[in-house]
Each structure stands twice: as C-alpha cells, then as structure tokens.
Amino acid sequence: MVVIYLSNPYKGSTLSSLFAYDAGNTSGHTKKSTVNSTTPFASSVGDIVGGEIFQPKDAPSYIPGKISIIVLFSVQLVVILLLRWITQRMNKKKPACIDVIRRRRDWTGEDIQREKNKHAFTDLTDKE
C-alpha cells in the first residue's frame, strides 16, 4: 500500500478520501456497500479510459490528452462546488427541521438523541 502512495500520490490520496467521503455521507448498510463497491469499479474504468486518451501518435506534446485533463479537472471543480453548495444548504435546513419535530412531539434534546441513535444504522436517507 505504501508503494502505491509513493508511486502515484494523486490517485492514492484521492481514492482513500473518496472512500471516507462515501462512508460518511451514505446512510444504511446496503447503500454503503453498493457505493463502496462501485467506487473502485468507476476508478478502474477511469484508468482504462485515461490510458486510451494519451496515444503514441500524439507524442511528445500529447495535446489531446492535456486538453482532456483540463476539461475533466474543470468539470470536477464544478461538481465539487455544486456538492459543497448542496450540502451547506441541507446543513442549514437540518436544525430547523429538528426543531419542528421537537416542538410537534414535545421532545427534549435527549429524546432527539435517542431517535438519532435508534435510526443510525437503518437503511434510511436524511429525508426519510
């Protein structure tokens, strides 16, 4: 594993960060298993496609490969910013939703925590 990190630091650190992101942001055992199994598959497909972008006929400048990297990094930046915006909106709305539930059911903070613990490992999303 250390050799992988030393030989390709971008890929190794990104993939492990992606696994951590998936684990932290996917609720439910079934969904978490599905996401964690599709992540290496998608990474492998990306490795195959990436190898096909850099063709020997384009040597030594590899302009089509460099253009594809710039385009994909730009798309990745847009997706990252979009995810940040979405999660910030959801995180701002969450306390208000919890307060509505607390008032409707006349719960204390302990009741809310007990419900969170009870549903922590169920196969539900935040909206459910």
When pLDDT is cut at 50, 70 and 90, the band that residue 86 belongs to is very high
Q: How many CA atoms lie within 13 A of 63 on its CB side?
A: 0
Among all chains, which residue has been given the structure tokens 């969450």? Answer: 94
Residue 67 clears pLDDT 90, i.e. is over it: yes
Q: Whole-prediction pTM value?
A: 0.61
Residue 74 confidence (pLDDT): 93
Residue 81 confidence (pLDDT): 95
- The pair phi, psi for residue 119, each rounded to 5°, is -100, 10
Residue 97 clears pLDDT 70, i.e. is over it: yes
